Chain A
Amino acid sequence: MRRAVILALVVFLYVGSGFLSAGALAKAVSRTYIGFGRTVGAQQQQPRISGGNGTFYIGGYPNLIWILDEATEKVSGTIQLKTGIPRRLTLSRDRSRFYIIDAGQEKVEVVDVASKTTLDTFTLTEGTNRIRINSLEPDPTHSYAILLTRSGTKLRDRVEVGPATLQQYDLKAHKVMRTIPWPDGEERDNANLMFSPDGKLLYFLGNEILIFETEKFTQVDKWDLSNLEEGLGQVSISFGGFAGLDNTYDEPGFVTTTLTVEDPVQHRRMMGIARINLAKKDLEFYTIGPSAPVSFALAPDRKHGYGLESSIDRYQFWTFDLDQRRVTTRAEFAGRPRMSLKTSSNGRLLYIYNAGNTIDMYDSSTYKYLRSITLDGDVTTQFYVVPRARP
């Protein structure tokens, strides 16, 4: 009651003095009264920045995939897995299924995203012949998958480990359709694989992109990216970060990523951006500055990219302007020793995850820490941010 009397007196004096208009007075009174009645936090006075209306998928301990609504930042559901701790999560290109490799690398689980149910599980391990699956790429029709495997056989008094093998695996019949010979007969331990949108070609992504047709998996072409232009120097292109390639925001058939190049004269290492058109076997690239250990995440507008530099006590966000071909800002932030970066579905937030049970959110324009989502267990896989509509 006393507050109301004081308020009336203040209003009378201000109106009498002519300092405030009637409209401004009304707003001032409103704010002041609210201020008297209850505390208003500074955050509530500023509009809450939302990351968009997409959906998060992230695998974690002990055996599930969390599904979160990006707008509310709440867990909207979980997918319980039958194969244990998920380690590698691959979202099919049509975004209808997840292919999950377990922590032991011996079991694969296929999950239907819409119904959140397990469609299938399989393993190639039989008895004492253990087959580990290092990576997996499903074909666009979900009829088969390309598996990178290595066998280990336990004999009576010893074990034997076989070579890394690339196999075409029939997802319906549950059998190996063929073993695909390594290009040039040279065994590889890792492979970033990608099908063309129509599924007719399979790309081995590396400094040298190898192109296979998918009828008999014979190599039909080869594209050496390590020597793009005479005088430029040796180029090295990075594909995939934590747990593989995620090109959710790329156009189908495109990959945008970073490259490093060491010029042949000064021997300086520079960093650049490459946008690779796999279908046309074309590449657009440019250098942007000295080389740094920066991981790259494309923004959904494809005009920007964000970088994460992480070395001992040097955690930086970077922003790349892909139209202007330059780094626009860099700033340190209080990160964590092991972390990975994702961009929100509207590009306004940056998500930091990995090695822990939180997803930390930062304003992509100011790099200011905003808030965190805390999950019920540690994250063990790749983190997908799936926009409601394709960008």
Chain B
Amino acid sequence: MHTRLAWIVSGLALSVLPLVAAPQPPTTTTAPLVAQPPPPTTTAPAPEQNRRAATENPDEGIPVTDPDVRRACGGCHVADDKNRMTRISYRRATPENWELTIRRMISLNHAVLTPEVARKVIKSLSDSNGLAPEEARPAMFEPERRLIDYTYAADKDLNTLCSGCHSMGRVISERRTKDEWVGLMTMHRYFYPGIDGASGGFRQGGPPGGGRGRGRGGDGRGGEGRGDTRQPYEKAQEHFATTFPLTSPEWAAWSAAMRTPRLAGRWAFAGYQRGKGPIYGELTIADRSDVPDGFTTDGKFTYTKTGETFTRKSRAIVYTGFQWRGRSADAPDDPGTWREVAFIERNGQEIKGRWFTGPYDETGIDVTLRRLASDPVVSGTDVMSLKASASGQRVRIYGANLPARAAATDIDFGQGVKVARVVTSASDVLTVDVDVAADARIGPRDLSVGGSTKSSALAIYTKIDGIRVEPQAGMARLGGAAYPKRTEQFEARAFSNGPDGKANTPDDIDLGLVNPLWTVEEYTATFRDDDIRFVGQLNESGLFMPNIDGPNPNRSGNRNNVGDVWVVASYLPPGSEPSTKPLRARAHLLVTVPLYLDWSYREVGR
């Protein structure tokens, strides 16, 4: 067990090694390293390159004035008379993408930076050469580490070209000049030998008389856009330069308006964790004097499904004025088991994002924070639906500053729903019994308490018409031997067909979590499919635990325990006749190999 744990820890440590294990000269927070000399084998930049970068569009290029960045990067990236450093000044990116670049500079280009200096550089460049909120929002799934089925619809060839190796989220988190997009693609071709050919699809071979290869990036010489003789990578850099340019009105506006966010104070917390349901609580944010744009948090939270309560502290840094990156800090030696990625809305009143943990960041809570003053705030309820024509249904209402002595008349669920009794009342939770009339209109209902309203807090329904399994496309990774396991949590949600009586239409009503019977069925992608025997186990809570990694001598071909299966939920709604056929729904689960090389970014929240 200890050996396995050591391997897991080693694997995680390796992933951050370039930053944390860089040579450590005596460090202080105020005296970063002196300028690094260029690697001995490199040659001086050709003057014409600098001129080209600077003169292609004389107005482009963001001056870099931070002495830390100038010292750390200036050995290779020369500044011109307008303080524009080669490469760096012609690019904007999220903190995570800057971190990836700095790690690459350390691991492949022999840059020597202490972790402290590296973090300063990331922070500085994220602020001076970052993304505007409007630019960052579509790419938030990337730093939030959400496993979503994303397709870059603007150009599916490019989607295929890039996502064969990494997430498209990494691409849309970048803004560059044309020269810089060319430089980025060239860097890929330099480091990865197979990327030009069929395994990468950057190029499409050549004319007859030498063998033409067809890569994954679509045929640059035919098909859609027939007559276009550009190679796939050439098309890509043209598209990116146009779609994701260095200069944009959004950045011009935000970079002028950006300021240190004022976040200190109390915040109402509303979260949701797949399989575990709603979480409510309160969080206090305090300024952190020792770190620019740094904050600490201290909160208390409750899972409404189980009543389990927990507390948590964290430390965070805000990049570019709106990008919250934090880590749990429950004890002085807490390595930051939970990470926090969130987006501070421009009005400064709401923060939304994801808290996550696990070897693959697979366990997460969708989080919304709302700023608290003295007025009541309704965060949500423990149940997501109420049945029509039923009395005495208990509802717990969570929030902050709720009336200590609430009366039934203080609480409003809309027409047809009557608060029969206030069972208990406290400032953070009210417990009430409600009666729902037979003719209450079905659908989502706003909930109002003492002047605070939560929209679509719950729904009224007459009948459960079906269930759905989330996520529809799950993924687990084998582990337990050399690598950690990636589990997958499924949940089943009931729904009503809504007023039109038809399923899968916009008026369907989500009725919330149900507890189904979970089973696994073979996904017969092949005639002799036997994945179900090897991939792992699904427990009664819908948590899939993958099998061990590595070759399995008991499987044909000595294969790993990989495969894909159906995850099936069966549910009999309360009050059903025993002979009633259960409602069923299913989702696809892919069980794949471990992530042998993990290049994820983990530094920006430190």
- Judge if B525 is at the interface, Cβ distance under 8 Å: yes
- Judge if A38 is at the interface, Cβ distance under 8 Å: no
- Judge if B557 is at the interface, Cβ distance under 8 Å: yes
- Judge if B129 is at the interface, Cβ distance under 8 Å: no
Query: Hey, which chain A residues are within 8 Å of B187, CB to CB?
Result: 158-159
In the assembled complex, the Cα of A182 lies from the Cα of B210 at a distance in Å of 10
Interface-side segment among A11-19, A67-75, A188-196, A283-291: A188-196
Interface-side segment among B41-49, B281-289, B392-400, B581-589: B41-49
Whether the Cβ atoms of B525 and A313 lie closer than 8 Å is yes
Whether the Cβ atoms of A128 and B43 lie closer than 8 Å is yes
Q: Among B38, B77, B191, B208, which residue has its beta carbon within 8 angstroms of that of A207?
A: B208
Q: Among A156, A222, A224, which residue has its beta carbon within 8 angstroms of that of B42?
A: A156
Whether the Cβ atoms of A191 and B43 lie closer than 8 Å is no
Q: Mark B197-210, 1 if CB is under 8 A from A, else 0.
A: 10000011111111
Query: Hey, which chain B residues are within 8 Å of A240, CB to CB?
Result: 211
- Judge if B212 is at the interface, Cβ distance under 8 Å: yes
Measured between C-beta atoms, what is the minimum distance from A6 to chain B in Å?
Answer: 42
Whether the Cβ atoms of B211 and A239 lie closer than 8 Å is yes
Whether the Cβ atoms of B212 and A190 lie closer than 8 Å is yes
- Judge if A376 is at the interface, Cβ distance under 8 Å: no
- Judge if B96 is at the interface, Cβ distance under 8 Å: no
- Judge if B3 is at the interface, Cβ distance under 8 Å: no
- Judge if A210 is at the interface, Cβ distance under 8 Å: yes
- Judge if B239 is at the interface, Cβ distance under 8 Å: no
- Judge if A160 is at the interface, Cβ distance under 8 Å: yes
Q: Mark B548-565, 1 if CB is under 8 A from A, else 0.
A: 000000001110000000
In the assembled complex, the Cα of A184 lies from the Cα of B41 at a distance in Å of 37
Whether the Cβ atoms of B209 and A161 lie closer than 8 Å is no
- Judge if B310 is at the interface, Cβ distance under 8 Å: no
- Judge if B526 is at the interface, Cβ distance under 8 Å: yes
- Judge if A23 is at the interface, Cβ distance under 8 Å: no
Residue of B nearest to A103 (CB): B193
- Judge if A8 is at the interface, Cβ distance under 8 Å: no
Query: Interface size for chain B: under 10, 10 to 19, 20 to 34, or 35 or more residues?
Result: 35 or more
User: Main secondary structure on chain A at its contact with chain B?
Assistant: loop
Q: Among A156, A192, A224, which residue has its beta carbon within 8 angstroms of that of B45?
A: A156
Query: Hey, which chain A residues are within 8 Å of B92, CB to CB?
Result: none
Whether the Cβ atoms of B189 and A152 lie closer than 8 Å is yes
Q: Give residues 125-150 of A contacting B (CB, 8 Å).
A: 127-128, 130, 132, 150
Whether the Cβ atoms of A159 and B190 lie closer than 8 Å is yes
Query: Hey, which chain A residues are within 8 Å of B196, CB to CB?
Result: 150, 189
Query: Hey, which chain A residues are within 8 Å of B211, CB to CB?
Result: 188, 190-192, 205-206, 239-240
- Judge if B183 is at the interface, Cβ distance under 8 Å: yes
In the assembled complex, the Cα of A157 lies from the Cα of B90 at a distance in Å of 13
- Judge if A204 is at the interface, Cβ distance under 8 Å: yes
A156-B38, A158-B186, A161-B190 known; A189 and B213 CB under 8 Å? yes
In the assembled complex, the Cα of A320 lies from the Cα of B24 at a distance in Å of 67
Residue of B nearest to A152 (CB): B190
Query: Hey, which chain A residues are within 8 Å of B197, CB to CB?
Result: 189-190
Measured between C-beta atoms, what is the minimum distance from B83 to chain A in Å?
Answer: 16
Query: Hey, which chain A residues are within 8 Å of B78, CB to CB?
Result: 157
- Judge if A209 is at the interface, Cβ distance under 8 Å: yes
Whether the Cβ atoms of A157 and B212 lie closer than 8 Å is no
- Judge if A186 is at the interface, Cβ distance under 8 Å: yes
Whether the Cβ atoms of A158 and B208 lie closer than 8 Å is no
Whether the Cβ atoms of A189 and B43 lie closer than 8 Å is no
A127, A161, A205: which has the most chain B beta carbons within 10 Å? A161
Whether the Cβ atoms of B203 and A313 lie closer than 8 Å is no
Q: Give residues 490-539 of B contacting A (CB, 8 Å).
A: 525-529
In the assembled complex, the Cα of A15 lies from the Cα of B528 at a distance in Å of 52
- Judge if B86 is at the interface, Cβ distance under 8 Å: yes
Residue of B nearest to A332 (CB): B527
B42, B210, B528: which has the most chain A beta carbons within 10 Å? B210
Whether the Cβ atoms of B87 and A158 lie closer than 8 Å is yes
- Judge if A84 is at the interface, Cβ distance under 8 Å: no
Measured between C-beta atoms, what is the minimum distance from A345 to chain B in Å?
Answer: 26
- Judge if B76 is at the interface, Cβ distance under 8 Å: yes
Whether the Cβ atoms of A188 and B76 lie closer than 8 Å is no
- Judge if A312 is at the interface, Cβ distance under 8 Å: yes
Query: Hey, which chain B residues are within 8 Å of A130, CB to CB?
Result: 190
Residue of B nearest to A151 (CB): B190
- Judge if A187 is at the interface, Cβ distance under 8 Å: yes
Measured between C-beta atoms, what is the minimum distance from A223 to chain B in Å?
Answer: 9
- Judge if A334 is at the interface, Cβ distance under 8 Å: yes
Residue of A nearest to B87 (CB): A157
Q: Among A150, A192, A336, which residue has its beta carbon within 8 angstroms of that of B210?
A: A192
Measured between C-beta atoms, what is the minimum distance from B521 to chain A in Å?
Answer: 18
Residue of B nearest to A148 (CB): B210
Q: Give residues 230-251 of A contacting B (CB, 8 Å).
A: 239-240
Whether the Cβ atoms of A208 and B209 lie closer than 8 Å is yes
Query: Hey, which chain A residues are within 8 Å of B44, CB to CB?
Result: 156
Q: Give residues 195-232 of B contacting A (CB, 8 Å).
A: 196-197, 203-213
Query: Hey, which chain B residues are within 8 Å of A50, CB to CB?
Result: none
Query: Hey, which chain A residues are within 8 Å of B183, CB to CB?
Result: 158-159
- Judge if A377 is at the interface, Cβ distance under 8 Å: no
A104-B193, A156-B76, A204-B210 known; A312 and B43 CB under 8 Å? no
Query: Hey, which chain A residues are within 8 Å of B203, CB to CB?
Result: 189
In the assembled complex, the Cα of A81 lies from the Cα of B193 at a distance in Å of 21
In the assembled complex, the Cα of A164 lies from the Cα of B206 at a distance in Å of 10
Measured between C-beta atoms, what is the minimum distance from A57 to chain B in Å?
Answer: 24
Q: Among B45, B77, B526, which residue has its beta carbon within 8 angstroms of that of A312?
A: B526
Query: Hey, which chain B residues are within 8 Å of A157, CB to CB?
Result: 45, 76-78, 86-87
Whether the Cβ atoms of B525 and A312 lie closer than 8 Å is yes
Measured between C-beta atoms, what is the minimum distance from B186 to chain A in Å?
Answer: 5
In the assembled complex, the Cα of A356 lies from the Cα of B557 at a distance in Å of 9
Q: Mark B61-92, 1 if CB is under 8 A from A, else 0.
A: 00000000000000011100000001100000
Q: Among B77, B186, B212, which residue has its beta carbon within 8 angstroms of that of A206?
A: B212
In the assembled complex, the Cα of A187 lies from the Cα of B197 at a distance in Å of 14
- Judge if A200 is at the interface, Cβ distance under 8 Å: no
- Judge if A105 is at the interface, Cβ distance under 8 Å: yes
Measured between C-beta atoms, what is the minimum distance from B1 to chain A in Å?
Answer: 30
Query: Hey, which chain A residues are within 8 Å of B77, CB to CB?
Result: 157
Query: Hey, which chain B residues are within 8 Å of A336, CB to CB?
Result: 557
Query: Hey, which chain A residues are within 8 Å of B46, CB to CB?
Result: 155
Q: Give residues 143-199 of B contacting A (CB, 8 Å).
A: 183, 186-187, 189-191, 193, 196-197
Q: Which residues of B are in contact with A by a Cβ distance under 8 Å?
A: 38, 41-46, 49, 76-78, 86-87, 183, 186-187, 189-191, 193, 196-197, 203-213, 525-529, 556-558
Residue contacts A-B, CB under 8 angstroms, 29 given: A105-B193, A128-B42, A152-B190, A154-B190, A155-B45, A156-B42, A156-B43, A156-B44, A156-B45, A157-B87, A158-B49, A158-B186, A159-B183, A159-B186, A159-B187, A187-B206, A188-B206, A189-B205, A189-B210, A189-B213, A190-B205, A191-B211, A206-B212, A207-B209, A207-B212, A222-B209, A312-B525, A313-B526, A334-B528
Give the top 7 A-B pairs by smallest Cβ distance, nearest first.
Answer: A188-B206, A313-B526, A188-B210, A208-B208, A159-B190, A207-B208, A191-B210
Known: A156-B44, A222-B209, A334-B528. 9 other contacts (CB 8 A): A132-B193, A156-B42, A156-B45, A158-B49, A159-B186, A189-B205, A192-B210, A192-B211, A208-B208
